[in-house]
Amino acid sequence: MNFKASQIAEFLKGKVEGDPEAVVTDVSKIEEGKKNTLTFLANPKYSKYIYETKASVVIVNDDFVPEKELKVTLIRVPDAYQALAMLLDVYERSIPQKTGIEQPCFIDESATLGKDIYVGAFAYIGQNVKLGDNVKIYPQSYIGDNVEIKDNSIIYAGAKIYRSCKIGQNCIIHSGAVVGSDGFGFAPDENGEYKKIAQVGNVILEDNVEIGSNTTIDRATMGSTVIHKGAKLDNLIQIGHNVEVGSRTVMAAQTGIAGSTKIGEECMMGGQVGIAGHLNIPDRVKFGAQSGVPNSVKKEGTVLLGAPAIDATNFAKSAIIFKKLPEIYRKLNEIEKTLNDITKQ
């Protein structure tokens, strides 16, 4: 990576303020900026660092107004975060891509392999697997029988995809993730012992889905567990059997969705959100971190917090009262004592 500020601005369709000949050879965080690196400022909380960073070039929003003199070259764009994402994507694609089949690995003779694929050492490719063009299977991954993985998808080291699951185009499954393990289905018999219910469905990931490290997505009891187009799941998430996650929905780490719940499109979930089974969550609902959701949500676009989750405004008001409970309790005791004294008199 070796670019001038003017070249970067031209690519981003931005405007340079400062030295257009400033050269960058790497990227850095604004608070840890070094000479000849590129950084960005999108969150106002980090504004103070732009006056002291050692970075040479900083991407900022068009509406950024400096409060004092700057020593860095600016590139102004409509959205600094999005602009940086574009640059990082270009940088990543410039890194040489792995191709070919490493040994030792196992690929069943019935598997269908697309062009320019990569299969890392100790990977296992089962019967009747279909791999599209430019698919990358990193070392020690397991691809079960009858799995289909479409073009340009990446399965990182140690990920496991059980039988008959379907992975769309441009998907990313990170290390340790498990797609298609059995749903949590058991029925007690006459002796009170739990008998396993066979899970005969599968998991479908539509195009442009990303699954974080050590996330697990259970196969359906019957039918399919479905993660729709463009959804993004963080690390350490549990998706139960027959769950449906809508397009462009995002979930932060340690979220858990119980079986047969339907999540709408463009929903957002903070860390450690827990959603009970057989619920319906409409489009564009947002849950704050550690929200517990025991009931379906009726209204689209609702923002909920707490356990059980309630309207965010009401939760904020309740939190204020909660902090005052010890004082309220003390005053109630005083009032009760006073009333008792009056009654005795």
Q: Is residue 200, in this structure, part of any structural domain at all?
A: yes
Output the pLDDT for position 101: 97
Q: Who wins on pLDDT, 26 or 265?
A: 265
Rounded-to-integer distance, Cα 167 and Cα 246, Å? 16
Whether 140 has a pLDDT exceeding 70, the answer reads: yes
Asked whether residue 251 falls in the same domain as residue 220, the answer is yes
Angle at 253 between CA 305 and CA 272, to 5 degrees: 35
Q: Is residue 341, in this structure, part of any structural domain at all?
A: yes
Instruction: Count up the domains in the chain and report the number.
Output: 3
Whether 298 has a pLDDT exceeding 90, the answer reads: yes
Output the pLDDT for position 56: 95
Whether 333 has a pLDDT exceeding 70, the answer reads: yes
Tokens of 305: 């917090």
Mean pLDDT to the nearest integer, 192-217: 97
Whether 307 has a pLDDT exceeding 70, the answer reads: yes
* Tens-digit pLDDT profile for residues 105-131: 999 999 999 999 999 999 999 999 999
* Tens-digit pLDDT profile for residues 155-188: 999 999 999 999 999 999 999 999 999 999 999 9
Angle at 194 between CA 193 and CA 196, to 5 degrees: 140
Rounded-to-integer distance, Cα 297 and Cα 293, Å? 9
* Cis status, amide bond into 308, omega within 30 of 0: yes
Output the pLDDT for position 313: 87
Mean pLDDT to the nearest integer, 267-295: 97
| DSSP three-state, residue 17 | strand
Rounded-to-integer distance, Cα 179 and Cα 259, Å? 15
Output the pLDDT for position 343: 85
Asked whether residue 289 falls in the same domain as residue 325, the answer is no
Residue-averaged pLDDT of the chain:
95
Instruction: Please name the residue ranges forming H helices in 145-197.
Output: none
Output the pLDDT for position 240: 98
Asked whether residue 165 falls in the same domain as residue 289, the answer is yes
Give every CB contact of residue 33 below 8 A, 6+ residues apart in sequence: 39, 49, 53, 54, 55
Which residues are marked as active site? 241
Q: Is residue 131, in this structure, part of any structural domain at all?
A: no
Output the pLDDT for position 1: 66
Angle at 38 between CA 34 and CA 40, to 5 degrees: 110
Tokens 């676009």 — which residue?
A: 301
Asked whether residue 188 falls in the same domain as residue 304, the answer is yes
pTM for the full predicted model: 0.86
Q: Please report, for the domain that includes residue 257, its CATH number.
A: 2.160.10.10
Least Cα distance to 148 among 162, 161, 134, 167 occurs for: 167
Mean pLDDT to the nearest integer, 259-271: 98
Mean pLDDT to the nearest integer, 314-335: 89
Q: Is residue 143, in this structure, part of any structural domain at all?
A: no
Q: Which of 45, 67, 94 is the last residue of a domain?
A: 94
Q: Is residue 141, in this structure, part of any structural domain at all?
A: no
Q: Which of 94, 115, 150 is the last residue of a domain?
A: 94
Output the pLDDT for position 319: 84
Give every CB contact of residue 97 below 8 A, 6+ residues apart in sequence: 118, 136
Asked whether residue 90 falls in the same domain as residue 163, the answer is no
Whether 345 has a pLDDT exceeding 80, the answer reads: no
Q: Please report, for the domain that includes residue 83, its CATH number.
A: 3.40.1390.10
Residues 256 and 235 sit within 8 Å (Cβ to Cβ):
no
Give every CB contact of residue 237 below 8 A, 6+ residues apart in sequence: 212, 215, 216, 251, 253, 254, 255, 256, 257
Q: Is residue 273, in this structure, part of any structural domain at all?
A: yes
Give every CB contact of residue 321 below 8 A, 6+ residues apart in sequence: 328
Domain that holds residue 332: 316-345
Phi-psi region of 80 (alpha: psi -120 to 50; beta: other; left: phi over 0): alpha
Helix, strand, coil share (%) of the chain residues, nearest 5? 20, 30, 50
Asked whether residue 171 falls in the same domain as residue 254, the answer is yes
Q: Is residue 206, in this structure, part of any structural domain at all?
A: yes
* Tens-digit pLDDT profile for residues 179-202: 999 999 999 999 999 999 999 999
Asked whether residue 183 falls in the same domain as residue 199, the answer is yes
Output the pLDDT for position 10: 94
Burial of 175 (0-12, 13-18, 19+ CB in 10 A): middle
Q: Is residue 140, in this structure, part of any structural domain at all?
A: no
Q: Which of 67, 94, 121 is the last residue of a domain?
A: 94
Neighbours of 90 (CB within 10 A): 11
Mean pLDDT to the nearest integer, 280-306: 96
Whether 20 has a pLDDT exceeding 80, the answer reads: yes
